Amino acid sequence: MGLYNAHVLPWLIDRVMRAEELGRFRARLIPSARGRVLEVGVGSGLNLPHYGSEARVIVGVDPSAKLVELSRKRSVGHRVPVEILQADVMKLPFATASFDTVVSTWVMCSVPDLARGLAEIRRVLAPGGQLVFVEHGISPRPLVRTVQRGLTPIWKHVSGGCHLDRDMRTEVGAAGFDVTRLETEHGGPFSEMYFGVARPT
């Protein structure tokens, strides 16, 4: 799986995440990022065009060297300073309270220890900071939920650890965040999209 994860999977992620429908989802929340912004799981940099005028600096991290390379290429010429680093959300190389906004899009599904990743996000957020997220997770529909739970053990092995059945509302709240905005939308046959803004309690 080493060759697959290092080279094939990043290429697949870049192709899949370019879908026009996902761009519509991004456009709903990314512009609300403000100040010094950390984007966890920056991937190939597809969120960069959606940042608004309130973002002063964007720092992106991703554990994949290939996706970091692609993201750096997309960041060239951006209107605000952009820095892309290879790093894991479960061990962020930043000082406590150093960001005004953390952005996470389709990342939390694949973090091996999500509680630890969310704790790190909370740590690096400044007082009054915000977590802006677009994620997919457990469906409220019983039949879809059953399918999600049945598919996840297989799906996560071919999709970089992606879980179809994580309860994003519960996970974010349990990590010490107050979810101040949350919307959900059916995102396909086996997914539910979660759009949210949360602040450290």
Q: What mean pLDDT do residues 89-113 have?
A: 97
What pLDDT digit, counting tens, does each position of 68-86 carry?
999 999 999 999 999 999 9
The answer, yes or no, to whether residue 188 has pLDDT greater than 80, is no
| Burial class of 147 by CB neighbour count within 10 A (0 to 12, 13 to 18, 19+) | middle
Confidence band for 158, pLDDT divided at 50, 70 and 90: confident
The answer, yes or no, to whether residue 1 has pLDDT greater than 70, is no
Residue with tokens 């630890």: 116
Confidence band for 189, pLDDT divided at 50, 70 and 90: low
Percent of the chain beyond pLDDT 70?
A: 99
Six token digits for residue 150: 């049945």
What pLDDT digit, counting tens, does each position of 115-130 carry?
999 999 999 999 999 9
DSSP 3-state of 170: helix
Mutual orientation of helices 9-16 and 65-75 as an angle, nearest 10°? Answer: 40
- pLDDT score recorded for residue 57: 98
Candidates 132, 101, 15, 13; CA nearest to 64 is 13
Six token digits for residue 41: 């799981």
Task: Tell me the C-alpha to C-alpha distance, in Å, between residue 186 and each of 31, 111, 140.
Answer: 22, 22, 10
The answer, yes or no, to whether residue 91 has pLDDT greater than 80, is yes
- pLDDT score recorded for residue 6: 82
Greater model confidence, 187 or 105: 105
- pLDDT score recorded for residue 186: 82
- pLDDT score recorded for residue 159: 87
CA 181/CA 170 separation, integer angstroms: 14
CA 152/CA 194 separation, integer angstroms: 18
Confidence band for 191, pLDDT divided at 50, 70 and 90: confident
What pLDDT digit, counting tens, does each position of 17-50 carry?
998 888 888 999 999 999 999 999 999 999 999 9
| Burial class of 94 by CB neighbour count within 10 A (0 to 12, 13 to 18, 19+) | middle
- Which domains does the chain possess? 2-200 (3.40.50.150)
Greater model confidence, 1 or 198: 198
The answer, yes or no, to whether residue 166 has pLDDT greater than 80, is yes
- pLDDT score recorded for residue 187: 75
